Each structure stands twice: as C-alpha cells, then as structure tokens.
Amino acid sequence: MALSHRAALVTVGAVATTAVAAFALVIDHLPDFADVSAVEARPAPAQIETGALPRSALYPEAEPRIVEDEEEPSARLEFVPPGALEPSPGLWPSVVASETEDAQSWTTQTEAARAPATKTAAVASNPRIGSPAAVAQSRSRSLQQRLNEISPNATERIAEKFKVAKVAWPPAEIALVAIKDQRSLELYARPASGAWTFVHRYPVLAASGSAGPKLTRGDRQVPEGVYGISYLNPNSRYHVSMRVNYPNSFDRRMAAKDKRRDLGGDIMIHGKKSSAGCLAMGDAAAEELFVMAAEVGVKNIKVVIAPTDFRSAGVPALKPGQPEWLPRLYVEVASELSQFKAPPAEGTGSLLSLLGL
C-alpha cells in the first residue's frame, strides 16, 4: 500500500515537471510586448505636404474655360440673320426684309476653322453662293478682314466724292442726314475745327413706314431724331451694316411717359435693296459709309433722321393721333438740321449725285 502511494506521487510529480518545462519553453519563444505592438498595430496614414503634389492629384480636372478677347466692340462682331419679315406698305418701295439683329450675338468674334484644301485655290476662294462654305465664310470675318476686302475700291470712290466737294479726306467727323420723304441720305464732313460741308447725297433704295417716329417693336417705322452709330457689322446679311443707336435718351423718356415698354431696336444702315425699319443703301453705298465710319470712328458720326426737310418746309403742326411730344422732337431735329447747309436741288447738284453714285 505504501509502495503504490509512493509510485502515484512520483507519477504526478513527473507530469507536473513536464508541464512546467513545456510552459517555460512556450514563454521563451513568445515575442516581447514591444514586438507584438509592432506586428499588430496598423501604421498611421502618412502625412504628405500638399504643395509637393500636382493640383491634378488633389482636385479633379476642371473643364477648360473659354476666355473671350477684350477687343473693341467693332472688331469682334458676329451676326446670325433671322427670318425675313413680311413686307409692309408705306412711303418706301421694295420692302421685303429686315435687319433685326440681336445685340447679344455681337459679343464674340468667331473664326471659321481652316479645312484641308480639296479644291483649287480659285474655287476655294469663291464658294458657291448659299453653300455651307459660303455661309461659314461670310459669318467669320473680323472687321479688319472685311475692310481689307472692301476698303481699296470703296476708298477710291470716297476720295473722288471728297475731291469733287473740295473737302479733305479723311475728315475728323461726318454727319448723315436722312430725309424720309426725299428718300435720301446726305453726307457732310468737317475738320477738327470748322463748319460742316456737304459732300454727297446717297439715294435710299428701301425702308418702310411713313412720316412719324418709331414707337414700338414691329411698327416698321424708321425712327426720327438725332442719333449716333453704336457699332459696325462686317458679317451682315445685308452686305455690311452699321447700327443706329435707337432708342436714344429722348426715345426712352417719352416711352416712359407714354407707358410704352418694348421700343424695338436694331435699326441699321446697310446694303442690298430691301429692308423694314432700316435704311437700305445698296452695296456700293453701304461699303463707302462702312469704310468712312471705320476711318473716322463711330464716336465721330452723327445721324439725323427727319420726316421732311425742316430747313425749307418748317416744323409741321401736330396732327390727331400723334404723340403730344412730337413737335418738341421736331424742333430739336430742325435745330440740328440748321447747321447743315442744304445741298443743291436735284438737277443742279454734282454729276456724281445726279448719277446716284
């Protein structure tokens, strides 16, 4: 009995010794606490200096912006013509269309892309009228490009007119006097300090409406009053054109008084032989006026439009249905006309005027 008890104790001791030895072995092979932290801990995000990276790595690439050239308004014009208007009977003949132009479309200048040459130079430089190439070409010219095209011949004609009138070219200022019932546009010029001198009378080939001011959009009246020129359009549907700055301050004040809102606008002096609310001068005359305007500058041009020649006829009395302020307008127009000596009557003028050139 004593022997068996002793054997059991020996066995238990051996097992305990083995267990202690095994535990010690495990402890010896375990990494220390610092090593465990190094293995299990996740590295912190790297701190990167943003200035060391390109902008594209930090922010998505933005869409490119188109910055428009800040040029003079007259050198950055574009015009997409609207549909033709219905003819309106009145004082002027051959009225079939209008140069109604949206000023917002004049804010940028666009250039037509140069396509690979697939035709001869002669054919490429003279595309068929009405073809897409012709339309694109006609709407992509800058003011200077258009002047390069028309100025040489137009300047020769202008110089001849000034020579006949014994007026120095170029003048410091020009004035255009339109007389509705005579269907004429008189050209005057003067030096920096001097009086106005009559140069030439151009025939107005077409306009619309009758005597009386323009009151609202769509009335197809040519305005009456004293105006200037706002800008030149080298890409006009009507060859070339320049915009009369209607409505002026007087027009706006009278509209406010009458509670009229939409006065209309885009009154042009242009080429071709048809118009509604504008003055159609024919291409040759329009070229000359366009080149003169570019030469002297639009700020140095005065435009006077009258229903009749107040220098000889006097201011008419107010008629029923006319605005009560109309006599005041006509007095102002008559005052402006007084500084322009009336040209010779038809039949005694210069040969050029008699020929309508």
Residue 6 has a pLDDT of 63
Which residue is it, tokens 């110089």?
159
User: What SS3 state is found at 182?
Assistant: helix
Burial 56-83 (b: 16+ CB within 10 A, else e): eeeeeeeeeeeeeeeeeebebbbbebee
Q: Which CATH number is correct for 95-101+141-354, 3.30.420.40, 3.40.1080.10, 2.40.440.10, 3.40.50.10540?
A: 2.40.440.10
202 within 8 A of 279, measured Cβ to Cβ:
no
Cα distance between residue 82 and residue 80, in whole Å: 7
Q: What is the pTM of this model?
A: 0.61
The bridge status of strand 267-270 relative to strand 241-244 is antiparallel
Residue 166, phi-psi category: left (phi > 0), alpha (psi -120 to 50), beta (remainder): left
Distance of CA 337 to CAs 123, 184, 190, Å?
49, 14, 15
What is the identity of the amino acid at 320?
P
Strand order in the sheet with 173-179: 197-203, 184-190, 173-179, 301-306, 225-227
Instruction: Evaluate the omega torsion of the peptide bond into residue 116 and state whether it is cis, within 30 degrees of 0.
Output: no
pLDDT per residue as tens, the chain (357 positions): 555 666 666 666 666 666 656 655 545 555 444 443 333 344 444 444 444 444 444 344 443 333 333 333 333 333 333 333 333 344 444 333 444 444 333 322 323 333 344 444 444 455 554 555 555 555 678 889 899 999 999 999 999 999 999 999 999 999 999 999 889 999 999 999 889 999 999 999 887 778 888 888 988 888 999 999 999 999 888 889 999 999 999 999 999 999 988 888 888 999 888 877 788 899 999 999 999 999 999 999 999 999 999 998 888 888 888 899 999 999 999 999 999 987 765 654 444 544 455
The CB-side HSE value for 261 (13 A sphere, CA atoms) comes to: 0
Q: Where are the domains of the chain?
A: 95-101+141-354
Instruction: Evaluate the omega torsion of the peptide bond into residue 247 and state whether it is cis, within 30 degrees of 0.
Output: yes
Residue 243 has a pLDDT of 93
